[in-house]
Amino acid sequence: MKLATKYIHAGAHPDPSTGAIMTPIYQTSTYVQSAPGVHQGYEYARSQNPTRFALEEAFAVIENGKFGLAFASGVAATDAVMRLLVPGDEVVAAHDMYGGSFRLFSKVHEKMGIKFIYVDTSDANNVAKAMTPATKLIWLETPTNPLMNISDIEAISTIGKKHNCMVCVDNTFASPYLQNPLDQGATIVMHSATKYLGGHSDVIQGCLMLNDQTLRDQLYFIQKSTGAVPGPQDCFLVLRGIKTLHVRMQRHCENGIQVAAYLRQHPKVGKVYWCGFEDHPNHAIAKKQMRGFGGMMSFTLKTDTIEAATKVLSSTKVFSLAESLGGVESLINHPASMTHASIPRDQRIANGLSDGLIRLSVGIEDADDLIADLAQAIG
């Protein structure tokens, strides 16, 4: 089945009682039983909800997986993966990653006895060198947030299999439209469904997709036991968002090409981070494992200072200064003070994330208007 057809029909079944084409919002906390333990497959909404189950089926379909699980946020989904580990286990993680993931790892799970080793995963050899008998998980972002580094999912998944180690890929920046890590050998895929899957900046949600039944059952137990589940209204919104993922991503990609090209030729712009450039360090890998290069990018000014960046960040009219990404509207962001503020400054700088870095989530507006807005803001 082609992508467009898959996204529109994933998880969608006409309601058996009315024939409604859209999945109903089952706004209920509990379900009536005819006798103790005798029910229609639903007991309590933290554990089971038909709207959420429809969404979880859709999650599996769009990532070419067998199972999907929905969580209250992307961080909650990430936390569930970490709860598979026990004290003494080690995680090899991308050194360039979302600040919320780093905060969860360093401030929560390190206290639980999990050790995190941060490496530049854009070179698979760095991952191989970091592996030890205690390594139980490799955590990847590709493209990374916010420097757009690319990791070879297939090569790193092979390393994981060699060491009997799980590989989880945060696929938020690419979305299933551009990249399917399970097809490249990953064990688990994570998304902040808040972003491209929802697509309209109106919901907070996360998800996991995978193929292994035993692992799915472990994660489902964690999901229902910790209670980090989304409500049915949120599930309905993400189900609706998935139906237009393909048309939105096509426009994000088209606009991304034009905005990246404009920034690169601007005399006041220093470096543009976008994996669609042929001279991007791992462009060949991106081209191999992605169907396009998306609308996420970052850039610095030639005057790479926080003061110069702040002037641009405060001057846009179409790009809105805000955290998050992946909505239909374009957003501009300052990672050092916003999404990545929880990462110590010296560590950020060492990883290449300067105080003056500006991140863009290029939306689906008219590209000419987006370019004109950047032109007047940069000056």
CATH of the domain at 65: 3.40.640.10
Q: Is the pLDDT of residue 312 over 90?
A: yes
pLDDT digit string (tens) for 328-338?
Answer: 999 999 999 99
Asked which of 223, 242, 261 is the last residue of a domain, the reply is 242
Q: Which of 98, 118, 177, 262 is catalytic?
A: 98
Same domain? 208 vs 95: yes
Instruction: Give me the pLDDT at residue 145, please.
Output: 95
Instruction: Give me the pLDDT at residue 298, please.
Output: 98
Asked which of 242, 266, 291 is the last residue of a domain, the reply is 242
Instruction: Give me the pLDDT at residue 285, please.
Output: 98
pLDDT digit string (tens) for 318-329?
Answer: 999 999 999 999
pLDDT digit string (tens) for 62-81?
Answer: 999 999 999 999 999 999 99
Q: Is the CB of residue 74 less than 8 Å from the CB of residue 197?
A: no
For tokens 């070879």, name the residue. Answer: 152
Q: Is the pLDDT of residue 352 over 90?
A: no
Confidence of residue 351 (pLDDT cuts 50, 70, 90): confident
Please state the rounded mean pLDDT for residues 15-23: 90
pLDDT digit string (tens) for 29-75?
Answer: 999 999 998 898 889 999 999 999 999 999 999 999 999 999 999 99
Residue 317 annotated among the catalytic residues of the structure = no
Residue 220 annotated among the catalytic residues of the structure = no
Same domain? 253 vs 154: no
Same domain? 133 vs 160: yes
Residue 98 annotated among the catalytic residues of the structure = yes
What is the enclosing helix (H) or strand (E) of 347? helix 345-350
For the chain, how many residues are written?
A: 379
Q: Is the pLDDT of residue 82 over 90?
A: yes
Q: Is the pLDDT of residue 339 over 90?
A: no
Q: Is the pLDDT of residue 341 over 90?
A: no
In single-letter form, the type of residue at position 63 comes to: E
Question: Three-state SS for 179?
Answer: coil
Instruction: Give me the pLDDT at residue 230, please.
Output: 98
CA atoms of 248 and 135, how far apart (whole Å): 38
N- to C-terminal Cα separation, the chain:
47
Q: Is the pLDDT of residue 188 over 90?
A: yes
Q: What is the CATH number of the domain that holds 322?
A: 3.90.1150.10
Same domain? 65 vs 50: yes
Same domain? 193 vs 292: no
φ, ψ of residue 301 to 5 degrees: the values are -85, 160
CA atoms of 167 and 36, how far apart (whole Å): 41
Indicate the DSSP class of residue 106.
I
φ, ψ of residue 92 to 5 degrees: the values are -95, 120
Q: Is the pLDDT of residue 212 over 90?
A: yes
* Portion of the chain with pLDDT greater than 70, in percent: 100
Same domain? 40 vs 136: yes
Which tokens belong to 47? 């554990």
Same domain? 181 vs 320: no
In terms of Cβ atoms closer than 10 Å to its own Cβ (0-12, 13-18, 19+), residue 210 is buried
Asked which of 208, 242, 276 is the last residue of a domain, the reply is 242
Same domain? 181 vs 258: no
CA torsion sign for 367, 370, 372, 375 is negative
Q: Which of 195, 243, 248, 348 is catalytic?
A: 195
Is the pTM value of this prediction over 0.85? yes
Instruction: Give me the pLDDT at residue 286, please.
Output: 98
Which tokens belong to 3? 């992508």
Q: Which of 6, 46, 115, 271 is catalytic?
A: 46
Same domain? 43 vs 118: yes
SS3 of 117-144: the string is EEECCCCHHHHHHHCCCCEEEEEEECCC
Instruction: Give me the pLDDT at residue 103, please.
Output: 96
Instruction: Give me the pLDDT at residue 16, please.
Output: 87
Same domain? 35 vs 176: yes
Please state the rounded mean pLDDT for residues 9-13: 92
Instruction: Give me the pLDDT at residue 1, please.
Output: 87
DSSP E strands in 108-232: the ranges are 115-119, 135-141, 166-170, 188-192, 206-210
Nearest to 292 by CA among 330, 346, 253: 253
Instruction: Give me the pLDDT at residue 292, please.
Output: 98
Same domain? 252 vs 357: yes
Q: Which of 170, 234, 355, 373 is catalytic?
A: 170
Which tokens belong to 192? 């902040």
Please tell me the number of Cα atoms within 13 Å of 67 on its side-chain side. Answer: 15
Same domain? 137 vs 14: yes
Give the least confident one: 4-18, 88-102, 158-172, 197-211.
Answer: 4-18
In single-letter form, the type of residue at position 69 comes to: L
Q: Is the CB of residue 235 less than 8 Å from the CB of residue 49?
A: yes
Across the chain, mean pLDDT equals 96
User: What are the beta bridge partners of residue 69?
Assistant: 208
pLDDT digit string (tens) for 89-126?
Answer: 999 999 999 999 999 999 999 999 999 999 999 999 99
Number of domains, the chain: 2
Domain hosting residue 288, numbered range: 245-378
What is the enclosing helix (H) or strand (E) of 313? helix 306-313
